[in-house]
Structure 1
Amino acid sequence: MDEQRLPLLLHCCCGPCSTASIERLRELGYEPVLFFGNSNIHPQEEAEHRFEVLREVAGHFNLGIIRHPWDHASWLKSVVGHELDKERGARCALCFQWNLQEAAEEAARLGIAHFTTTLTVSPHKDSPLIFSIGKEIEGFVPVDFKKKGGYQRSIQLSKQLKLYRQDYCGCEFSQRDSTKQQQADGHDAHTP
């Protein structure tokens, strides 16, 4: 780890979103430790695939990576009653809370004072909502990674590194909605 930079635990939703986030955090004076919990991701094979892609990113940037066990059953219990919510609704807020709290607990366990999330790189995610949840948790650093061309940079880096880019956020509910949207747009939902 660079002695000039402050350690920060970076909750990573996936490898592609992590690329530009890592660059930005280093510009801001942080040295990220990558964290993959993401019990929201479904099916388990998808979670495994996303973790493997994140390992590639960790290797490219020479960073450490930590993984929590996948516990989708517990995550599902945390969103009961919100299965039909649309993307950016109450279910997503509960999911952000789950992932940010899990990251905060891991940062505390490791003695890392600061943490943040790659979730804000996506134009499909509500950064102000993520920040409002995060500010209630000690150590959260609000960074809107989509600013300053962050999302476009993540696409560019993903192409350079030949990374798998998924077409839904993670849970079976976002996958359902993504599939419906792709079918409505006349696209084959199973084509990468």
Structure 2
Amino acid sequence: MERKPLLLHCCCGPCSTSSIERLRELGYEPVLFFGNSNIYPPQEAQKRFLNLETVAKHFDLRIIHHEYNHKAWLKEVAGHETDPERGERCSICFAYNLKEAADEAVKQGIPYFTTTLTVSPHKSAPTIFSIGDTWDEFVAIDFKKKAGYQRSIELSRLLDLYRQDYCGCEFSRREKSPVEP
């Protein structure tokens, strides 16, 4: 069976694991995309990217590392620094990352894209889908369904992946809300 190419926005290695398995079950062949200019500090972004490289090697997938531009992301969320986790700042962040993924999919000639963000029980799939609906090429998949989150934990252990304890930005880090991974 020939799989359809799809660009997969990856927030981190752990969330990517079960998402890749599900996409392959659905007939897609993902190309991994790591932008995530929201992640702070830069060393944290690099650590997450290195773990995504481990995942890419395990699944024998291509990975695209987009330029890190935290200043541009901060400009995008300006005025929302004190929003609570899962508030408006998060929706703006989702839109920022999905736009980067959509643009990269077009640049690479990949007809579809989606995101691993929905594997987390702390992220609202309907919110992400509503933002993703901006693009016809967006494929709405709730990766936490069919025990996707639990499977991501199992695969993270198997691959000895780093699992962070905050979503990514300095604002979520301050709150230290229980955001996985």
Structure 2 counterpart of 1:166, one-letter code: Q
* 2:95 corresponds to: 97
- Structure 2 segments unaligned to the other structure (5+ residues): none
- Pick from 4, 7, 10 the counterpart of residue 8 of structure 2: 10
| CA RMSD between the two structures | 0.9
* 2:129 corresponds to: 131
| 1: CA distance, partners of 2:112 / 2:31 | 10
TM score, norm. by length of structure 1 = 0.91
Among all aligned residue pairs of Structure 1 and Structure 2, give the percentage whose two residues are the same amino acid.
67
Structure 1 segment 62-141 matched on structure 2, within 5 A? 62-141=60-139
Shift of 1:137: 1.6
Shift of 1:92: 0.3
TM score, norm. by length of structure 2 = 0.97
* 1:189 corresponds to: none
Structure 1 segments of 4 or more deviating over 6 A? none
- Pick from 154, 161, 164 the counterpart of residue 163 of structure 1: 161
- Pick from 37, 43, 46 the counterpart of residue 44 of structure 2: 46
Residues 20 and 154 in structure 1, CA contact (< 8 A), matched pair in contact too = yes
Residues 43 and 172 in structure 1, CA contact (< 8 A), matched pair in contact too = yes
* 2:146 corresponds to: 148
Give the total of aligned pairs.
Answer: 178
Question: What SS does structure 1 have at the residue aligned with 2:142?
Answer: coil
Name which one, 1 or 2, has greater alpha-carbon Rg. 1
In the TM superposition, what whole-angstrom CA distance separates every residue of 1:90-120 from its partner, at most 9, and x where no partner exists?
Answer: 0000000000000000000011110000000
| 1: CA distance, partners of 2:33 / 2:148 | 20
Structure 2 counterpart of 1:69, one-letter code: E
Shift of 1:138: 2.8
Question: What SS does structure 1 have at the residue aligned with 2:175?
Answer: helix
- Structure 1 segments unaligned to the other structure (5+ residues): 183-192
| 1: CA distance, partners of 2:170 / 2:135 | 27
